[in-house]
Chains A and B, each alone.
Chain A
Amino acid sequence: MTLRSLRLVTGLVLMAFVTGHMVNLMLGMHSLAAMESWRPWLMGPWRSIAGQGLLVCSALIHLALGVYAIWVRRSLAMSKTDVVQLCLGLATPPLLLNHAVVMHMAGEVTPNFDATFGQMLAVYWSFSPGYAFQQLGVVMVVWIHAAVGLYSWLVLKPVWKRIGGMVLPVLFAVPILALLGFAEVGREVLEKLAGDPAWREHITANLRRVVAVTDPLNAMQSRLLWGYGMLVIVAFGVFGARVLRERLQRVTIDYDGGASAQGRRGLSILELSRLNDVPHAHVCSGRGRCGTCRVRIEAGPGSLSPMSEAERETLARVEAGAGERLACQARVTGSGVVATRLLPPWATV
């Protein structure tokens, strides 16, 4: 299994979980009771040992792959989508950590703590609204990250032509409906808090039990955050060190139509194009999937990195001729390369 497909699979697992969660929230538009009654079906599977294991593993692997992607980056010449994905992906763990820790750990540290929707909504809407802002932010961040990821994977598939028109609206309807559910059920929770002293008592008692274990939870959170922060800093450090080390080794590449680009040794042809504003098609923004960036190497094929298996596959799929390479995969290691862009910059799959 390649890293690429691993990232995809873990991402899909996480997205499935998030979707289930969101759908559960949507039920808030009906009532709090509906949310609670559907919870075992929508969220329950993830509470089982297997589900929890799958979820945690996926989250950790996805995060590690994200950090690794920074680690091995060679330049910041990214498409806008990639910048968005990077920023949102980096922002997710710190925003989500609190919720995850409370939901998964509180149950284990505190005896008979029940993490119901009512409990959490009461916290968000009444007891400490600060967490609500965090959660609302996380809904937006996570969902856009997931939607962009899913979109950039699906848009390359032939099937997208048929299902795209349905999938895109659904992608945006899910978080909007979930948030509407959150807002609706919030009103209900507030009324219930005011009008049902028994329930209120139950909630506060529960809350007191969590507050009692706040300190160890907080300590754990901050340790995790620190660890995450260090990891990200190290990844960026490795990236920065590579850029600094290679900054003096310049290579030049010429294109068809008299354009030329200059940049650090070891950058891919596509990165050189982007850094120098040379128009170059790239639908999958340099993941070697779409084949729109392919070029014919007119001279200096020896100054390019050798072809990887993934590149060979993609080239075969798009029925590329001899002497053609994927600009996003072929890294320039020396001078004298002349490349002809085979597709117009506005090409789609």
Chain B
Amino acid sequence: MSQTLAGWSVQLLADTTTRLEVLRNDVLQAPAELGTLIGQTHAALMSANGVAAFTYIVILLLVGIGVEWLYWTYAYSPLRAIQSSPAASPRQALELALRQLALQVSGLALFTVAAIGASAAFSWPSGVHELVVAATLLLLVLRLAWMLIAALLAPGRGNLRLVPVADERAGCLAAVAMTVVCLLALGSFVPGVMERVGGASHVAGALRLLTTTAAALLLVIAAFAFFGSRGQGPRFPRSFVLALLVMAVYGIWLLNASAALLAAILAIVIALQIGLREIVFFFWQDDRDSVVPSIVLSATRFLVVLVALGVCAVAVDTPVLALAAAESPLVRFTLRLLGVATLALLTHVVWISIRSGIDQRLSRIRPRGPHAEPDEHSRLLTLLPLLRVSAAVLLVVMLVVSSLWALGIEITPVLAGAGVVGLALGFGAQALVRDVIAGVFYLAEDAFRIGEYIEAGGNTKGAVERITLRTVALRHHNGPLHFVPYGALGTVRNTSRDWVIEKFNLPLPIDVDSEKIRKLIKKVGEEMMADPEVGRFIMEPLKGKLYRVDPGVKIFRCKFRTAPGRQFDIRAQAYKRIEAALKRMDIGFADGKTVLLNPAPAASA
């Protein structure tokens, strides 16, 4: 192990030396080669070919400028309108910046397309067409970079700034960023053309070295100038980390250019992924409960990775299209993995929007306490969690199936197999299916909600405590918990809906005045109705009337209507109050005594 490591280190050092030697060589030979290059260019220019090429270039410029000017005669007013609108929140600023960017990029695209398109019409001297296209692209990159930087930092337009930076710093930062972009663009476009057209590889190498070194130095200086320590208390300064990163990437670049690019992209992606949550929520700080930022966050995360992959592919000169057409299994697998990742992202976005929608709704209608009365939301309280689970299951199943499909695994046999197995299982799980479907209908028809007291078809009764896909849990008033499958629920007698009528009998002695008692009961009913404690549950006040006359007993039947579940307390109250009222009138309840009356003895005759 240690030997491998040592060997690898030696190899690395040797590579480094070679590479540094090449760089040194480039720098040493560059001046002489540059002289030759300039001489060649001058000679090429000072000829009929040179004049023709220059004429064409001027025509291209005029075509591009003309088309873009025409565009701006229409687009300038909207741009001014965007630039001078006040942005109340960071999100609004983002919207405005995006609109501004769209306007500007359209103009730039028109310029580029017009220039490059027109360039196809001319017969160029050899090598010049490539030069022209490269120059147009360089212009495109530089202008695009400036548009992005201006959109982010908006120097001079505090209202549109997306990055929270002070006014006086924004301009500076923008200038530094643009300089770095310029250097890097110069270092990546010009040397290639020099090598291919002019054959001046040493000058190209030296130019690359020069621009990259300057960019790295500028970045390090900028890191120390712009990134102070953050927050409270001593923390490791970000500036130092940043400078270290830049130097590390630069060091890698010295050894291997494309590796450095990959490293830089990796660093940027990691930094973005770490900071993305904060960035996204910075723009949605006014409504943090909304679903949108979560979706935006996950989509952006995915997009960052995707863009990074794309840039990497371009950076290491992967012929993407050729690869896609090639039959290499690894490449196909990778592409399919990308497809799966896209599916996963889509599923994630859908899941987040469903979940946060349901959760928000739930948190809004959640009852105040565990023993609170069931209210009009209880059906939603019942259905929403069910819906959430079902959606999760459905999404996962869909994701799995479509991922398999995206991976190129033939899913028809799987589905067919699943169909056969499903058939077999289906016979076995008939009851299960019946339960589930019956449950759906019970809930859809709003037969019961959580908290309601129901009596099911069997002998089970109790308050609905929990609703699952297959069963409902009923808490009997004595404590036991029944788990009733929906299939066995049968007729449901829901005693918690709207109102209940309670009736009870009042046996009184036979000699009481019925009309007086009726009035007494009515009065008690009115008193109860007026009582703040119980009155609010009574929907129809207590009334009573003579119901039956038995030997020695007059039975009065009393009746009242209350909110469900309140009838027992209120009946007890009614008894109490009636008893007190009777006592005040000195009437007792009918006693069970039977009075035997002895008829008067007849005369003895």
Contact = CB atoms under 8 A, between A and B. Distances in A.
Interface of A: 124-126, 128-130, 132-133, 136-137, 139-140, 143-144, 164, 168-169, 171-172, 175-176, 179-180, 182-183, 186-187, 190, 277, 279, 281, 344-348
22 contacts: A125-B48, A129-B50, A132-B51, A132-B54, A136-B55, A140-B58, A143-B62, A164-B73, A169-B70, A172-B65, A172-B70, A176-B62, A179-B58, A179-B62, A182-B55, A183-B55, A183-B56, A186-B51, A186-B52, A281-B80, A345-B84, A346-B78
A168 B156 contact: no
Contacts of B188: none
B59 A180 contact: yes
A279 B160 CA distance: 13
Given A168-B70, A279-B83, A176 B157 contact: no
Interface residues of B, number: 29
A143 B62 CA distance: 10
A186 B54 CA distance: 13
A168 B48 contact: no
A186 B55 CA distance: 10
B46 interface: yes
B47 interface: yes
B219 interface: no
Interface string B59-93: 10111011001100100011111011000000000
Contacts of B62: 140, 143, 172, 175-176, 179
A125 B81 CA distance: 49
Contacts of B61: 140
A180 B52 CA distance: 10
A172 B73 CA distance: 14
Contacts of B45: 129, 133
A176 B63 contact: yes
Given A129-B47, A176-B66, A345-B84, 6 more contacts: A128-B46, A132-B54, A171-B66, A186-B55, A346-B77, A346-B81
Contact of A168 (B55, B59, B73, B80): B73
A168 B80 CA distance: 22
B55 A179 contact: yes
A144 B73 contact: no
A164 B73 CA distance: 10
Contacts of B58: 136-137, 139-140, 179
B282 to A, nearest CB: 24
A242 B69 CA distance: 35
B18 to A, nearest CB: 43
A124 B69 CA distance: 30
B59 A179 contact: yes
Nearest to A182: B55
A169 B114 CA distance: 14
Given A140-B62, A176-B63, A179-B55, A129 B84 contact: no
B59 A186 contact: no
Interface string B95-133: 000000000000000000000000000000000000000
Contact of B51 (A133, A171, A175, A279): A133
Given A144-B65, A179-B58, A277-B156, A126 B77 contact: no
Given A176-B59, A176-B66, A129 B81 contact: no
Contacts of A182: 55
Given A136-B54, A179-B58, A279 B66 contact: no
Contact of A125 (B51, B56, B65, B83): B51
A346 B84 contact: yes
Interface in B316-336: none
Contacts of B83: 279, 345
Contacts of B79: 346
Contacts of B54: 132-133, 136
A183 B70 contact: no
B81 A126 contact: no
Interface of B: 45-48, 50-52, 54-56, 58-59, 61-63, 65-66, 69-70, 73, 77-81, 83-84, 156-157
A129 B70 contact: no
Contacts of A186: 48, 51-52, 55
Contacts of A126: 48
A348 B81 CA distance: 11
A155 B58 CA distance: 26
A164 B74 CA distance: 12
Q: Which 5 residue pairs are nearest across A and B when measured between Cβ atoms?
A: A279-B84, A172-B66, A346-B81, A346-B80, A345-B84
Contacts of A190: 48
Contacts of A183: 52, 55-56, 59
A277 B93 CA distance: 17
B102 to A, nearest CB: 16
Contacts of B157: 277
Given A183-B56, A186-B52, A345 B73 contact: no
Nearest to B50: A129
Contacts of B84: 279, 344-346
A281 to B, nearest CB: 8
Nearest to A280: B84
A196 to B, nearest CB: 16
Given A140-B58, A345-B80, A345-B81, A129 B48 contact: yes
A124 B50 CA distance: 11
A307 B55 CA distance: 49
A341 to B, nearest CB: 10
Nearest to B157: A277
A183 B70 CA distance: 25
Nearest to B167: A277
B449 to A, nearest CB: 55
Nearest to A133: B54
A124 B46 CA distance: 10
B110 to A, nearest CB: 13
Contacts of A187: 52
A348 B56 CA distance: 36
Contacts of B51: 124-125, 129, 132-133, 136, 186
Nearest to B155: A277
A180 B121 CA distance: 11
Nearest to B70: A168
A168 B54 CA distance: 24
Contacts of B73: 164, 168
Nearest to B156: A277
B61 to A, nearest CB: 7
A146 B45 CA distance: 28
A325 B573 CA distance: 86
A129 B46 contact: yes
A321 B79 CA distance: 29
B166 to A, nearest CB: 14
A153 to B, nearest CB: 14
A170 B202 CA distance: 47
A348 B76 CA distance: 10
A347 B78 CA distance: 10
Contacts of B70: 168-169, 172
Contacts of B47: 129
Nearest to A190: B48
A183 B80 CA distance: 40
A103 B54 CA distance: 23
Contacts of A345: 80-81, 83-84
Given A132-B51, A133-B51, A179-B58, A344 B81 contact: yes
Given A125-B51, A186-B51, A345-B84, A130 B46 contact: yes
A236 to B, nearest CB: 24
Contacts of A136: 51, 54-55, 58
Contacts of A344: 81, 84
A282 B48 CA distance: 46
A136 B45 CA distance: 13
Nearest to A180: B59
A187 to B, nearest CB: 8
Contacts of A130: 46
A158 B70 CA distance: 18
Nearest to B66: A172
Nearest to A168: B70
